[in-house]
Amino acid sequence: MNSFFQDNNSFVNYTAQHYFSVLIFITLGIIFNLIGKYKLKGEDKYRFIVFILSFVFFFQVMKVFVMQYKGVFDYKTDLPLHLCNMSPLFLLLAYYFRSRLAWSIFFLWIMSGTFQSLITPTLHQSFPNYEWWRYWIIHAWLVTGAFYGIVVLGYKIKFSDIFKALLWLNILAFVIFLINTQLGSNYMYMQGKPDGKTLYNALLDWPYYIIQLEFLALFFFSLIYLPFRFIHKKAE
């Protein structure tokens, strides 16, 4: 149990452990999609993905209690207020209420933000530390959970979803910005870039990179939409 809770600060990007972590959790996520598509019917398709995402969200919320148990909880860094941390709840609610529009918004968010977290993780703890488990469960199963809507439920992205996703992302970012100003925190990296080597390093300094992120979000949302546009054209 000590190794589960004790920080080891030994995770290094682009090493065997990085690649193995992505491989094992993405593979499990693919299996979830295959189970939903070929083994489940009707209501069970929705119940299954809501159960999986509830587990993911539970693992995220448990971070608060783990940090408190270790005596290092800091409300400025450990509340589930980053986009990746909130997305399990958002996505499971979309599936629970069977909202294609909500799913499409969260799909665009997840594929633009969470997906790159698999490539450039901001992780410091290696296996078997709790944070290692939490990080990969959240990020890998969010990505594969988002694809569940396409693979299992037949959801598709519409062109108008691009602008709705951008609008709601700005509303959420504004709310988080207000929270940051009250807490002195940096959730969603609204007040500064994350530590480590990430895609943020290629952007301008604060606050100018926030404007860049607006255009990048629009670009990535449009890029993600293109395969759906191609499918729509082919079906006509």
**Residue range 24-52, pLDDT digits in tens:** 999 999 999 999 999 999 999 999 999 99
Q: How many CB atoms lie within 10 A of CB 61?
A: 12
How confident is residue 234, by pLDDT bands cut at 50, 70 and 90? low
pLDDT number for residue 164: 97
Angstrom distance (rounded) from CA 170 to CA 168: 5
What mean pLDDT is predicted for residues 87-93? 95
Enumerate the domain spans of the chain: 2-235
**pLDDT cut 70: percent of the chain above it:** 96
**Residue range 162-193, pLDDT digits in tens:** 999 999 999 999 999 999 999 999 999 999 88
Of the candidates 87, 128, 129, the residue with the CA atom closest to the CA atom of residue 108: 87
SS3 197: coil
Regarding pTM above 0.85, the answer is yes
Q: At residue 203, does pLDDT exceed 90?
A: no
SS3 89: helix
**Residue range 134-170, pLDDT digits in tens:** 999 999 999 999 999 999 999 999 999 999 999 999 9
Q: At residue 198, does pLDDT exceed 90?
A: no
Contacts of 185 (CB under 8 A, 6+ apart): 75, 76, 77, 79, 81, 179, 191
